Amino acid sequence: MAKFLKLIKNNKGATAIEYGLIAALIAVAAIAAMGNIGNNLGSTFNEVGSQLD
Protein backbone atom coordinates (compact mmCIF):
# COMPACT_ATOMS: atom_id res chain seq x y z
CA MET A 1 0.00 0.00 0.00
CA ALA A 2 2.88 2.38 0.77
CA LYS A 3 4.35 1.89 -2.72
CA PHE A 4 0.98 2.74 -4.27
CA LEU A 5 0.67 5.95 -2.24
CA LYS A 6 4.24 6.89 -3.18
CA LEU A 7 3.38 6.37 -6.86
CA ILE A 8 0.32 8.63 -6.60
CA LYS A 9 2.35 11.42 -4.97
CA ASN A 10 5.04 11.32 -7.71
CA ASN A 11 4.58 14.39 -9.95
CA LYS A 12 7.75 14.16 -12.05
CA GLY A 13 6.02 12.47 -14.97
CA ALA A 14 3.23 15.03 -15.06
CA THR A 15 5.71 17.89 -14.98
CA ALA A 16 7.67 16.40 -17.88
CA ILE A 17 4.48 16.05 -19.92
CA GLU A 18 3.53 19.66 -19.18
CA TYR A 19 6.94 20.90 -20.30
CA GLY A 20 6.62 18.81 -23.46
CA LEU A 21 3.22 20.33 -24.25
CA ILE A 22 4.54 23.85 -23.68
CA ALA A 23 7.51 23.17 -25.98
CA ALA A 24 5.16 21.80 -28.65
CA LEU A 25 2.94 24.89 -28.49
CA ILE A 26 5.95 27.18 -28.77
CA ALA A 27 7.19 25.19 -31.77
CA VAL A 28 3.82 25.43 -33.53
CA ALA A 29 3.67 29.19 -32.92
CA ALA A 30 7.24 29.65 -34.17
CA ILE A 31 6.57 27.64 -37.34
CA ALA A 32 3.44 29.65 -38.08
CA ALA A 33 5.25 32.96 -37.51
CA MET A 34 8.21 31.96 -39.65
CA GLY A 35 5.93 30.85 -42.45
CA ASN A 36 4.16 34.20 -42.40
CA ILE A 37 7.45 36.12 -42.34
CA GLY A 38 8.75 34.00 -45.22
CA ASN A 39 5.71 34.79 -47.35
CA ASN A 40 5.99 38.51 -46.63
CA LEU A 41 9.71 38.49 -47.38
CA GLY A 42 9.13 36.67 -50.66
CA SER A 43 6.55 39.25 -51.68
CA THR A 44 8.95 42.06 -50.83
CA PHE A 45 11.75 40.56 -52.91
CA ASN A 46 9.40 39.99 -55.85
CA GLU A 47 8.23 43.61 -55.66
CA VAL A 48 11.82 44.91 -55.52
CA GLY A 49 12.75 42.66 -58.44
CA SER A 50 9.88 43.95 -60.55
CA GLN A 51 10.83 47.56 -59.72
CA LEU A 52 14.42 46.95 -60.90
CA ASP A 53 13.29 45.64 -64.30
Structure-model confidence comparison of residues 3 and 28, the more confident one: 28
Quote the mean pLDDT of the chain. 85
Q: What is the 3-state secondary structure (H, E, C) of the chain?
A: CHHHHHHHHCCHHHHHHHHHHHHHHHHHHHHHHHHHHHHHHHHHHHHHHHHHC
Q: Which among 29, 18, 38 has a CA at the least distance from the CA of 46? A: 38
* Percent with pLDDT over 90 in the chain: 55
Q: Is the pLDDT of residue 8 over 70?
A: no
pLDDT in tens, 12-35: 667 778 888 999 999 999 999 999
Q: Is the pLDDT of residue 41 over 90?
A: yes
